[in-house]
Amino acid sequence: MKNILYILILITGSICKINAQSYSHQAVIENIKTSGLYKIPLNPDIKQYMTSDLHDTRIHDSSLQEVPYVVLSEPLLKAKSDFVEYTIVSQKHFNSYSEIIIHNPNKDKISNIAFNINNSDAYKYCAIEGSEDMKQWYSVSASQELTLAYNEVYTNTYKCIYFPMNNYSYFRLLVDDWHAQPLKINKAGWFRNSVIAGKHNEVVFTKSITEDKINKKTIVQLSFSNNQEVDRIDFRIKSPRLYMRHAAIYANRERKLKHDKVEKYRELLFEFNLSSDDLLFFDVPNLNEKEVFIEIENKDNPPLEIESISCKQLASYIVCDLNAGNKYHLRFGNRALKVPEYDLSNFVSSIPQLLPEASIGFIKQVPQSTVKVEEKQKSFFETKQFLWLCLGVGTIVIFFFSKSLLKDMAAKKDENL
């Protein structure tokens, strides 16, 4: 009797636990052609349904087994003062490749070379070699991806090539031009603290611009849907030709005071200057708000004619080990989960730069209240019907066990009489 009750309690508890761990959305992971490590791009359309640290996100295979993953994000571009320019000794183009030689006169220990390149969407590979005399060359890094995240505001962008730390007097970049014409490289150097220009994705938002003539300010209101992290804001100013304006980003807040009173206030998030002789994009780390305001001080000048404003999010990826013969689902929106701890996070530094990309299919919302839909997405042993069946069977077993026990007790009573 006790064993039966114990089994029923375990089954009931496990099923309740499964039902409690519900996800709000899910999607099929596609384009898994061969087994191995894959990177899965997370664009803003997907991340808006996830928490910022992705603790609500899991990958499951066809057997509903959890698949370990690690999240990698593109880094920010540091200020121009962090860029140390080197002399380009020569830049030659051959039939199937380009050769760019950079001089490192002080034999600095460097682990990256940043190239300022004219915009291009060409997909190329490159290799880095080192030398002391430009005669004998030694391998430093082979077969790296040289794909550009071209700049929509300016005609050029930075691309950083990483490699093991070295202090050769000369470095040679070899670019594969087999499938496309050579790239136009304007200058080369390195970023202190090993920082590169990260790829960004566009974030969808709505904006409204109003003029506060009394306080001589332009107020730009930006509104976002759901979870939309913004890492950079780009401006395009149409006129005037010369300007220098201070700007601040703030959000409206509320806090409770004594006697149930509520105080409204503004929290300053970021400050910057809009200048005609400087770059018009600004890194805004950890900006994740439903609504923000940009306040531009005009003083006695006419308001800026803002041609456009764009908000961008640093590209991020999920990296995981997938098998071609399996089927995988990305599920997210389960706020009850905690940040997973996978062994894969210990091998981030050894993950190859060149990884095949898997893609995320159509995002489906997982209904929380419709039992029929839940049956299609869960096995029978995970449904409420199975729970009730177990309880019903348990009730019947207890009934017959009790009935048999009462008969035995009655029979013993008659024998004693």
Structure tokens at 229: 């992290």
Cα distance from N-terminal residue to C-terminal residue, the chain: 28
Q: Which of 180-194, 273-287, 300-314 has the lowest mean pLDDT?
A: 180-194
Assess contact for 234 and 153: CB atoms under 8 A. Answer: yes
Question: In the prediction, which pLDDT does 198 show?
Answer: 64
Cβ neighbours, 10 Å, residue 80: 10
**48-57, 303-312, 317-326, 378-387: the lowest-pLDDT one:** 378-387
- Interval 280-303 mean pLDDT: 92
Angle 113-117-122 (CA atoms, 0-180°, nearest 5)? Answer: 105
> Residues 289-305: what's their mean pLDDT?
95
Minimum mean pLDDT range among 115-124, 281-290, 336-345, 382-391? 382-391
**4-18, 188-202, 258-272: least confidently modelled range:** 4-18
Average pLDDT over residues 242-246: 95
pLDDT at 130 > cutoff 80? yes
Q: Is the pLDDT of residue 125 over 60?
A: yes
Look up residue 60 and give its amino acid: H
Q: How confident is the model at residue 416 (pLDDT cuts 50, 70, 90)?
A: low
**Full strand arrangement of the beta sheet holding 291-297:** 206-212, 217-223, 291-297, 244-256, 262-275
Residue 154 has a pLDDT of 65
Would you state the pLDDT for residue 27? 94
d(CA 114, CA 280) in angstroms, rounded, equals 21
Question: pLDDT higher for 75 or 1?
Answer: 75
Structure confidence at residue 18 (pLDDT): 41
When pLDDT is averaged across residues 199-214 and rounded to a whole number, the result is 91
The three-point CA angle 290-295-299 to 5° equals 175
> Predicted confidence band at 300 (pLDDT cuts at 50, 70, 90)?
very high
Q: pLDDT over 70 for what percent of the chain? A: 80
Rounded to whole angstroms, the Cα distance separating 334 from 131 reads: 53
**How large is the average pLDDT for residues 158-187?**
86
Q: Is the pLDDT of residue 155 over 50?
A: yes
Average pLDDT, the chain: 82
| pLDDT of 291 | 94
What's the rounded Cα separation, in Å, for the pair 146 and 165? 19
Question: Cα separation of 311 and 309, whole Å?
Answer: 7
Residue 81 pLDDT > 70 = no
Structure confidence by residue, pLDDT tens digits, 91-110: 999 888 999 999 999 898 88
pLDDT digits (tens, 9 = 90+) for 31-51: 998 899 999 999 888 888 888
Alpha-carbon dihedral sign for residues 373, 378, 383, 386: positive
The listed range with the strongest mean pLDDT (136-150, 215-229, 368-382) is: 215-229
Exposure of 155 in the CB half-sphere (CA atoms within 13 A): 4
Average pLDDT over residues 169-197: 78
According to the per-residue pLDDT averaged within each range, which of 8-12, 24-28, 82-86, 189-193 is highest? 24-28
How high is the pLDDT of residue 415? 59
Q: Is the pLDDT of residue 253 over 50?
A: yes
Q: Residue 122 above 60 pLDDT?
A: yes
Q: Give yes or no for residue 2 having a pLDDT over 90.
A: no
Does pLDDT of 135 surpass 50?
A: yes
9 pLDDT above the threshold of 60: no
* Structure-model confidence comparison of residues 367 and 262, the more confident one: 262
